[in-house]
Structure 1
Amino acid sequence: MDERWRADLERWAIPEEIAAGAPADPWGHSAARFAERADRALAAPEGPTLTRTAEALPPGGSVLDVGAGSGAASLPLVPAMGELIAVDVSGAMLAELTSRAAALGVPVRTVRGRWPDVADRTLVADVAVAAHVVYNVPDLAAFLTALTSHARRRVVLELTERHPMSWLNPLWRHFHGVTRPLRPTAHDVIAVAEGLGHRVRHESRPAPLSRFDRLEDLAESACRRLCLGRERADEVVSAVIELDMWPVPRDRWFTLWWEAPGPGPSRPGKTG
């Protein structure tokens, strides 16, 4: 199942001839947008991911947040959380998270790098969470195995039902004549985790917020993702209207969780 996951994910690669003409990184993320997401989560903490993480967290317990961004999935656990261990490839996002954690008075340890490459220098925590990360992970089994080995009590994942760039599929056909894949999906993540021996429970709901509030924001994002110059934003808006894509339907978010096999020490690495 893991090999199928890898193969399905590889089909999301942008054709080389299109990527070569991209004026900006089509896969890039904005630290400012992630910071806004964290602030919204802090202002109105809610949702099954937060609930499933909080119910497994002992008073003053520790949380490992992999692909933490600016902390939207973990910082709302204050004041129950006693320590946060945050892993991310982006130093800018970790800086945003650190400043918010300081304001909340929660100790935070940051590890910059890609999971599970940095697992051997990351502390074990009571609960491990990874929100909106797995569609960037080719070796999903290794990712989940390392995540589980770093959790004493529970592992919690949050992800969209389909690849987060799926909303762009009609525009890929319109501008480039490219048909994008339908897989992998959240159900494939469940299958991989169950194949590793975990008893996976899950629930889903519509995304709490619309993807875009304004057509202009959609056009700006779509131009970057589609490898188009920003001067083509008006063309994108016209296509979106023609294809009946506005407003963009809300994604369906899945929360998956399973219990960790047992307690471990609070030092890096696996235990014996």
Structure 2
Amino acid sequence: MDERWRADLGMWAIPEEIAARAPVSPWGHSPARFAQRTDLALAAPEGPTLARIAEALPPGGSVLDVGAGTGAASLPLGRDLGELIAVDPSGAMLAELASRAAALGVPTRTVDGRWPDVADRTPVADVAVSAHVVYDVPGLAGFLTELTRHARVRVVLELTGRHPMSWLNPLWQHFHGITRPRRPTAHDVIDIAEGLGHEVHHEWRVAPLPRFTRLEDLAESACRRLCLGWERADEVIAAVVELDMWPVPRDRWFTLWWESK
């Protein structure tokens, strides 16, 4: 199953001849945009992922947040957090997280690097969470195995029901004539985790926030992801309207969890 996951993810690679023409990296993430989402989560902490973490967290317990970004999946726990251990390959993301953790009075240590490469130098915690990360992980079985080894009580995952770049599929066809894959999905993650011997529970909800609130923001993101210059933003907007893609439907967000004992 892990090999199929790896192959399915590989189908999402951008053809070299298209990537070579990209004016900026199509895979970059904005710390400012992630920080904005974290601030919204801090203002209104809710949802099944937070609930599944909180119910397994002992008083003064610790959380390991892998692929933490700026802390949207963990910092809303607030004073319930005895310690936050945040792992992320982006120092800029971790800096945003650390500043918010300090303001909240949450003791935090950060580990700069990719999981599971940094697992050996990462402490064990009561609950391990990884939110919106798995679609960037080719070797998912190893990733989940180390995540479980680093959780005393529970592992919690949050992910979209299908690949998070799926909303762009009509535009890939329109601008590049490329049909994008339908897999992998959240159910493939469940199958892999169950194949590792875990009793996986799951629930889903509609994403609490729209992907974009302005067409201009959509166009900026789409130009980057599609390897198009910003000067083609008006073309992207016209295509979005023509293809009836606005507003972008909200994703389904899945919460998966299992006990580590």
The TM-score with structure 1 as length reference comes to 0.96
Match of 1:25 in 2: 25
- 3-state secondary structure, aligned to 1:204: strand
Match of 2:11 in 1: 11
The reply to whether residue 107 of structure 1 matches residue 84 of structure 2 is no
5+ residue gaps, structure 1, are 262-272
**Deviation by residue 1:25-71 (Cα, 9 ceiling, x = unmatched):** 10100000010011001000000000000000011100000000000
Separation in structure 1 between the aligned mates of residue 54 and residue 30 of structure 2, nearest angstrom: 28
Match of 1:170 in 2: 170
Cα-Cα RMSD: 0.4
Amino acid at match of 1:138: P
Please list, as runs of the form range in 1=range in 2, the aligned pairs for 1:1-272 lying within 5 A after superposition.
1-261=1-261
Amino acid at match of 1:170: P
Amino acid at match of 2:32: A
Separation in structure 1 between the aligned mates of residue 87 and residue 4 of structure 2, nearest angstrom: 27
- 3-state secondary structure, aligned to 1:55: helix
Counting aligned pairs with the same residue, the percent is 82
Amino acid at match of 2:78: V
Amino acid at match of 1:204: W
Match of 1:264 in 2: none
Compute the displacement of 1:78 (Å): 1.2
Amino acid at match of 1:62: S
Separation in structure 2 between the aligned mates of residue 99 and residue 239 of structure 1, nearest angstrom: 40
- 3-state secondary structure, aligned to 1:239: helix
- 3-state secondary structure, aligned to 1:78: helix
Amino acid at match of 1:17: E
Compute the displacement of 1:169 (Å): 0.1
Separation in structure 2 between the aligned mates of residue 213 and residue 77 of structure 1, nearest angstrom: 27
5+ residue gaps, structure 2, are none
Compute the displacement of 1:237 (Å): 0.3
Compute the displacement of 1:168 (Å): 0.1
Runs (4 or more) in structure 1 with deviation over 6 Å come to none
- 3-state secondary structure, aligned to 1:167: helix
Separation in structure 2 between the aligned mates of residue 184 and residue 83 of structure 1, nearest angstrom: 33
What is the number of equivalent residue pairs in this alignment? 261
**Deviation by residue 1:185-238 (Cα, 9 ceiling, x = unmatched):** 000000000000000000000000110000000000000000000000000000
